[in-house]
Structure 1
Amino acid sequence: MAGLESISLRESVRSDVGARNPPHDPERATPSVDDAQPARQLEMGRKRVCVLVGSAILQLPIWGFAMSYGVLQEYYSGNWTLDGSQDVTGVIGTTSSGVMYLSMPFLFALFTRRWARWRQAAALFGIFLTCISFLVSSFSTHVWHLVATQGVLAALGCALIYSPTTLSLGEWFHTGNRAVAYGIVLSCKNIVGSACPFLLRVLLDRYGFRTALRVWTALAAGTSILAVVFLVPTPPTSLLPPPPASEGSAHRARRIPWHFLKHRTFYTYSVAIVFQSSGYGIPQTYLNTYAHEVALLSQTSATLLLTLFNIPGIVSSSFFGYLSDNKRFPLSATAVTSISAVSSALSALLLWGLTSQGSMALLVLFSVTFGFFAGGYSATWGGVINELEREAARCNEAIDTGMLYGLLNGARGIGYVSGGLAGVPLLKAGALAGSVGTPFGYGTSYGPLIVFTGLSSVLGSALLWRWDRLLHWSKLPSVFFIL
C-alpha cells in the first residue's frame, strides 16, 4: 500500500542499517547478520524509549502555559496594571492553543519529508523563540503586547518544538501501539496541566506576573533543551532529501500522498474535531474566573478546580488510546469519539450549568467528569488514523500518517481559535442580558458560554456526521418492532 510514498522511521532505520550492511555483499556471511539482529532490535527499542520519554518531558514547555492560562486570567481580573481592555486577555489562552494547532499541518508537511534533516534545528529554534517571547512578555505595558508575545509568538515556537518531535514519536511506533504511545504522551500533557496551575499560582502570589513569566522562561528552556538535545534522536540519513543527481524518481517517491482528501471519512472527523475543540478551551479559560466571581470560591479553590480539570486526562488519554487500539473488544473510531464527546457535553450542561453560589462540590464534579471525557478526545485520533489507514489499504492507496496527524491538529486549531473568538462576545452578551430568574449558572453572565460549551461538545461526536450510520441505526426500532 504505502510503497515508496509512505515513509516511517521504522523503514528509515531499516534502510540505514542496510546502508551500513549491504545485503548483496558476497563477503558477508549470513550468521553475522543474524547475530546483529538482536543488537539492532535492542538499539531500536532504546531509541523508542528515548523518543517516548523526550516527548513526555516536552509537554511541559509546549502545553504548560496554555493549559494553565486560566490562573493568569483570574490573576489579571484582580491585579490589572496594563493599558488596554482587560477583556482582551480572554483570547490569549485559546489563541495560543489555536496558533499552535493551526500551524501544525504546515510544519508537519515540511518536516515529514523534504526538511527532515532540519527537525532538531527547527526544534531548537522553537525553544529560542518560545523563551524569548515569554521573556519579552514580562516587560509588557499594553494588553496587545501579551496577545502578540504569549498568544502568537510563543505559540509558534511551541509548535516548532512539537511538530518535529511528534513526527518522530509516530514514526518510531509505526509498527504497532501508536495510539497507546500517543495516549501516554497525552497523559503526560495532562500531568503538566494538573501541576502547572499551582506552580503559576505560587509564582504569581509571591513575585507578580513579571517575575513569574521569567521563572517560567527558565523552566521551559531547561526542560526543552534536555529533551530535544539528549533524548529525541535525529532522523536517520535515509530520511534526508535525495541528492540533486537522483532528484527525478527519488523526489517523486517522497511526494506526500493526498489520496485521503478524496474520502469523506477525513472530513467527517475533521468537522467533529473543530466543534469539540471550540468548546474544550472555554472551561480552561473561564472556569477559574467563574469559580471566583460567581461561586465566590477562594483563589486556592479556583486553582484547584483547574488542576482537577486536567488530572483526569492523565488516565483518560491512555484509556481512550487503549480503546482505539483494543483488539479484544474492538470499537470503531466513531464510537470512541462519540463516548468522549457526548459524555463531556452532558457534564457541561447538567453540572456546570446547574452550579450556583458556593456549590464547590458540583464544580469539582464538573471539572473531573468534563476533564476526563473531553481531555481524552485527542487520544482517539490514533484510532482515526488507523481507520483511515485501513480505508487507504482497501483502495490500494498510500497514506502519510504524520501529515494526517498534522491536519487533525490543524482542525483542532480552527476550533480553539473559533471558541476563543466566540467566548468574548458570548460573555458580554450574558452580562448585558443580566439575570434570567434562575439561581444556576445559566442565569449568570457565563450562561451563554456554558450552553456553547455543551452544544459544541456534543457536535464533536463523529457519529452525528456519519449520515450512513445514523440512517442505518434509525431503522433498528422498526426491526425490533417487527421481531
Structure 2
Amino acid sequence: MPQTETVTLHELESFDAGLQSQTMHHDDEETIESSVSLRPESNKTRTGVLLGSSLLQLPMWGFAMSYGVFQEYYNDNLSLKGGRELTGIIGTTSNGVIYLSMPILFALFTRRWAHRRQTAALFGALLVSTSFLISSFSTDIWHLLATQGVMAALGSALIYSPVTLSLGEWYSTNNRALALGFTLSCKNIVGSTCPFLFRGLLDRYGFRGSLRVWAAICVGTSVVSILLIPTPPMTLSARTNHRDRRMPWAFLRHRTFYVYSFATILQSAGYGIPQTFLPEYAREVTLLSQTWSTLLLTLFNVPGIISSTFFGFLSNGGRGKLSASTITAISAGCSALSAFLFWGLTSRGSLVLLLVFSMTFGFFSGGYSSTWGGIINELECEAAQRNEAIDSGMLYGLLNGARGIGYVSGGLAGVPLLRAGSAASVGRFGYESGYGPLIVFTGLSSVCGGWGLLWKWTRLSQNA
C-alpha cells in the first residue's frame, strides 16, 4: 500500500460485511448462504488461508512500500537513457495503478468471477515476477516505468483483490477481526523491513541483479501462498445457485460521495511524495548516510501498524463517536503540520527533526484510509434515510480508485515541482532547498484531504 497506505481493520470489516449482506433482499439466497455458513470449516484450511494471505503481503507491497530506496539508487548510480526525473513517478504510478484497478477487480471477483480467484491471483504473481525480470534488462528509463510502475502493479492488484475477498469470507463467522488484523500487521512489517532488504541487494548485486533476485522471491512466495487460499464453498454455492444481483448506483446522485472522494484524491497526491523522495532528500540536503536514509523510510511505515487501529477505533460506533469528516480533518491537519513544521525546517545534520517528521507524518497520513470505515457508514446511513440500496464493497473499491488517481496525480506533479525547486535553490533549510516546492505541495494537499469538515460546517450553517 511507495507504500501503499494501510487499510484499517474496521474498514475491511465494514467492506467485507457489505459484500456479504448489505444488499441481500431475497429470502432464498439468505437461506442458502446461512446453511453453507453453518457447515464445519476446516481449521487446517483456514490456518493455511491466514498464513498464505500474510506471506503474500511481501510480493504485493514490498516494492511499492520501499521504492524510495530505488529512487535514491537511481539518482546516484543509474546510467540508462532518458530523463532521470522520470524515476520520481515510478513509485507513485505503481501505487496508483494498484488502487485504480481495485474498483473493477473487487466488483468482478465478488461473485461473477469468484470461481476464478485463484487463477487470477496466480496470473498476477506470474505478471509481477516477469515484470521485474524484464525490468532488469532495461536500457531506457521509460522501460522501468512500464515494467515496475505499470506491469508489476497490475500483477499486484490481481493478487490483492481476490485474496482479500477470500480471506474475509473464510473468517466471516469466526475470528475475522484477528485474521484481518494479523495480515494488516504483516503488511506494515513488510514496509518496515524491505527497505533494508533492497538496500542490501542493491549494494551487493547492483540494480539488475537485485531485480532478478526480487523476481525470484516474488514467484516463490506467491505461488505457494496462493495455493493455500481456495475460494470459500459458500461463495461458489451462491454463484452457482443465483443470478448476480444488479449493482445499486443510487449513491452516485449524492454530493457526500464526491466530497469524500475528492478529499481522498487530494490527500493521496501528497502522501506518496515523502515515500518517494525522503531517502534522496536525507542524502542531499541533510547529508545523512545511506543507513539513516533507509531507516527514515522504515520509520515512515512502522507507525501504520498503530495508526490503522487508532483511526479505525475513532471511526467505530458507540457513544461519543466522531463524525467521518472530523476524523479525516484530524488526520489531514496533523499530516500538514508535520510537513510544514518538521520537513520544511530541516537543515544539514537535522537528523532528529527528520526522524520526527517520518514518524508523525507516517502516523497521521498513514491512518487516513482508516477513516473510510466511517465514510462508508455515513453513506450507508444516507442511503437508509432515502430507502436506497447500497453496496459497501463497491464503495470501498471506488475509494481505492480515488486513492489511485491521487497517487498518479501527485507523481506527475512532483517532476516539474522538483525541477522548479532545483532551479531556485537558495539555502540550507528544506523550504529553501530544491525540494521546497515538493514540501509545500505535500502540506497543502494533505490539509485539503480534510476539507469534508469545512463542507459539512458550510452545509449546516446554510440549513440553520
The C-alpha deviation readout for 1:243-292, integer Å capped at 9, x for no partner, is xxxxxxx54x5111112212222112111110110000000000000000
How far apart, CA to CA, are the structure 1 residues paired with 2:373 and 2:431? 36
Question: Does 1:467 pair with 2:458?
Answer: no
How far apart, CA to CA, are the structure 1 residues paired with 2:428 and 2:143? 38
Paired residues, what number? Answer: 444
Q: CA deviation at 1:368?
A: 0.4
Deviates more, 1:334-343 or 1:439-448: 334-343
Q: CA deviation at 1:379?
A: 2.0
Question: Is the 8 Å Cα contact of residues 50 and 232 (structure 1) preserved in structure 2?
Answer: no
Question: Is the 8 Å Cα contact of residues 99 and 404 (structure 2) preserved in structure 1?
Answer: yes
Residue 228 of structure 2 aligns with which residue? 230
1:411 maps to amino acid: A
Question: Does 1:446 pair with 2:435?
Answer: yes
How far apart, CA to CA, are the structure 1 residues paired with 2:190 and 2:78? 27
Q: CA deviation at 1:181?
A: 6.7
Matches within 5 A, 1:289-438: 289-327=280-318, 329-435=320-426, 438=427
From 270, 278, 282, give the equivalent of 1:287.
278
Question: Is the 8 Å Cα contact of residues 114 and 236 (structure 2) preserved in structure 1?
Answer: no
Question: Is the 8 Å Cα contact of residues 62 and 194 (structure 2) preserved in structure 1?
Answer: yes
Structure label with greater radius of gyration: 1
1:165 maps to amino acid: V
Q: CA deviation at 1:329?
A: 4.2
Residue 101 of structure 1 aligns with which residue? 99
Matches within 5 A, 1:233-248: 233-234=231-232, 236-240=235-239
Question: Is the 8 Å Cα contact of residues 169 and 232 (structure 2) preserved in structure 1?
Answer: no
Q: CA deviation at 1:354?
A: 0.5
From 110, 115, 129, give the equivalent of 1:117.
115
Q: CA deviation at 1:318?
A: 2.0
Question: Is the 8 Å Cα contact of residues 19 and 110 (structure 2) preserved in structure 1?
Answer: no
The C-alpha deviation readout for 1:96-129, integer Å capped at 9, x for no partner, is 1111111111112222232222111111111111
- TM-score, scaled relative to structure 2: 0.87
How far apart, CA to CA, are the structure 1 residues paired with 2:380 and 2:48? 26
Structure 2 SS opposite 1:442: coil
Matches within 5 A, 1:67-106: 67-106=65-104
How far apart, CA to CA, are the structure 2 residues paired with 1:463 and 1:177? 34
How far apart, CA to CA, are the structure 1 residues paired with 2:360 and 2:218? 30
Q: CA deviation at 1:214?
A: 1.4
The C-alpha deviation readout for 1:401-438, integer Å capped at 9, x for no partner, is 22211111100000000000000000001111221xx5
Structure 2: unaligned runs, 5 residues or longer: 1-17
How far apart, CA to CA, are the structure 2 residues paired with 1:339 and 1:116? 38
Q: 1:57 to 1:203 in 2, by over 3 A?
A: same
The C-alpha deviation readout for 1:431-454, integer Å capped at 9, x for no partner, is 11221xx53100011000000000
Question: Is the 8 Å Cα contact of residues 179 and 383 (structure 1) preserved in structure 2?
Answer: no
Structure 2 SS opposite 1:136: helix
Q: CA deviation at 1:80?
A: 1.4
Structure 1: unaligned runs, 5 residues or longer: 21-36, 243-249, 477-483
How far apart, CA to CA, are the structure 1 residues paired with 2:212 and 2:402? 32
Q: 1:111 to 1:334 in 2, by over 3 A?
A: same
Q: 1:19 to 1:307 in 2, by over 3 A?
A: closer
Q: CA deviation at 1:170?
A: 4.8
Q: 1:169 to 1:338 in 2, by over 3 A?
A: farther
Structure 1 SS opposite 2:389: coil
How far apart, CA to CA, are the structure 1 residues paired with 2:269 and 2:61? 17
Q: 1:173 to 1:270 in 2, by over 3 A?
A: farther
Question: Is the 8 Å Cα contact of residues 45 and 228 (structure 2) preserved in structure 1?
Answer: no
How far apart, CA to CA, are the structure 2 residues paired with 1:365 and 1:384? 29
Residue 6 of structure 1 aligns with which residue? 23
Structure 2 SS opposite 1:255: coil
2:80 maps to amino acid: L
How far apart, CA to CA, are the structure 2 residues paired with 1:271 and 1:186? 25
- TM-score, scaled relative to structure 1: 0.84
The C-alpha deviation readout for 1:358-398, integer Å capped at 9, x for no partner, is 10110000000000111111222222222222322232222
Identity over aligned pairs, percent:
63
How far apart, CA to CA, are the structure 2 residues paired with 1:382 and 1:276? 17
How far apart, CA to CA, are the structure 2 residues paired with 1:45 and 1:6? 29
Q: CA deviation at 1:182?
A: 5.8
How far apart, CA to CA, are the structure 2 residues paired with 1:49 and 1:470? 50
The C-alpha deviation readout for 1:275-331, integer Å capped at 9, x for no partner, is 110000000000000000111101111001001111111111122222222535422
Deviates more, 1:377-386 or 1:199-208: 377-386
Structure 2 SS opposite 1:240: helix
Matches within 5 A, 1:188-207: 188-207=186-205
1:401 maps to amino acid: S
How far apart, CA to CA, are the structure 1 residues paired with 2:78 and 2:56? 31
How far apart, CA to CA, are the structure 1 residues paired with 2:407 and 2:133? 24
Structure 2 SS opposite 1:265: helix
Residue 32 of structure 2 aligns with which residue? 15
Question: Is the 8 Å Cα contact of residues 81 and 141 (structure 2) preserved in structure 1?
Answer: yes
Residue 215 of structure 2 aligns with which residue? 217
Residue 134 of structure 2 aligns with which residue? 136
Matches within 5 A, 1:170-185: 170-171=168-169, 185=183
Deviates more, 1:447-456 or 1:188-197: 188-197
2:296 maps to amino acid: L
Structure 1 SS opposite 2:318: coil
The C-alpha deviation readout for 1:324-360, integer Å capped at 9, x for no partner, is 2253542222222222111111100110000001101
Structure 1 SS opposite 2:431: helix
Residue 11 of structure 2 aligns with which residue? none
How far apart, CA to CA, are the structure 1 residues paired with 2:58 and 2:428? 39
The root-mean-square deviation of aligned C-alpha atoms, in Å, is: 3.0
